[in-house]
Amino acid sequence: QRSLLGLKELSKEEIESILDRAAYWEQHPNKVHTAMQGKFAANMFFENSTRTRFSFEVAEKRLGAEVLNFSAAVSSVQKGESIYDTVRTLESMGIDAGVIRLKPIGVLAEIATKIKVPLINAGDGNNEHPTQALLDMYTMRKQFGNLNGLSVSVVGDVQHSRVARSNLWALQKFGAKVRFCAPANMQASDLDVPYVSIDEALKSDVVMMLRVQLERHETGMLNSAESYREQYGLTAERAAKLAEHAIIMHPAPINRNVEIDDELVEHPQSRIFPQMENGVPIRMAVVERALS
């Protein structure tokens, strides 16, 4: 199976082999390789993206693949064409793999049963964002050497977060202790994970802050950015309580001074930009797996 639809169903060994292959690509930092020369990868984004979209493109180009970039905003989706018909169209033109981000939950799994080329999930609704979790785990493994026994607190808008779900399902396979911290109206009823206070969350090896996903909220979910920051934000005052070895993570984009204070984004304990850097070798490993 060369598709990557999620981490929930992927074995620990498969995940480990992707992390190891990413380490190989990180140690071979040529701008461009020839490993995937002559292969075509299509990036199909039906939802906005900066990091995922561009790091897939960088990864594909560094592997020497030919890259097709599809944007829903300037495509026949605007004339009413479905996601399936769009993917099937690109498949019929001979792509070798497709990277897809979309909003509706369940559609990717259904499309994958009808499409023969490998598909890579670049984020589907609030279900999974496997390459984000892989780069998060890669970042943690680089920092701590091992994921077993690591305490990871995921703080914020868990209900809408595909990042929280993919990280939870994958980190648990490695023996990491995952806990959530969220306001009552942003907790996920589908996940059986302990919720802790923000003070308790700060006692972890990894404090992963989540973006408040306003675009997925029903009206009135966030009363005020100020009160959210006061109750659940990683403020400079709270960050001062972190253990010296602890790291701060965030998948980004960031609402500065809402879920995390401006001055903490590039704090010595923050790994937010290294996470983005690690996204390239991770996506090289995932794209290579799909195209090989």
Q: Does 52 belong to an annotated binding site?
A: yes
List the beta bridge partners of residue 4. 120
Ligand-binding annotation for 252, yes or no, is yes
Q: Are strands 151-155 and 97-102 parallel, antiparallel or unpaired?
A: unpaired
Q: Which is nearer to ligand CP, 247 or 252 (CB)?
A: 252
How much helix, strand and coil, in percent to the nearest 5, is found in the chain? 45, 15, 40
In 3D, which of 272, 275, 235 has the Cα closest to residue 257?
A: 235
- Please give the Cα distance from 255 to 211 (Å, whole number): 6
Q: Would the annotation count 79 as a binding residue?
A: yes
* Residue 191 C-beta: closest distance to ligand CP, Å: 20
Could you tell me the smallest distance in angstroms from the CB atom of residue 50 to ligand CP? Answer: 4
Q: Confirm or deny that 274 is annotated as ligand binding.
A: no
Check: CB of residue 272 under 8 Å from CB of residue 278: no
Q: Consult the annotation and say whether 211 binds a ligand.
A: yes
Q: How far is the CB of 277 from ligand CP (least distance, A)?
A: 13
Q: For ligand CP, which is the closer residue by CB, 49 or 269?
A: 49
Distance between CA atoms of residues 89 and 86, nearest Å:
5
User: Which residues of this chain interact with ligand CP, rule CB under 6 A?
Assistant: 49-53, 123, 132, 251-253
For ligand CP, the closer of residues 135 and 200 by Cβ is 135
**Is 179 annotated as a binding-site member?**
no
Q: Which is nearer to ligand CP, 163 or 264 (CB)?
A: 163
Q: For residue 171, what are its two tokens?
A: 């980190």
Helix or strand holding residue 239 (H, E): helix 236-239
User: Closer to ligand CP at the Cβ: 210 or 231?
Assistant: 210
CB of 179 to ligand CP, least distance (A): 21
Binding residues for L-aspartate: 79, 162, 211
Binding residues: 51-52, 79, 101, 129, 132, 162, 211, 252-253
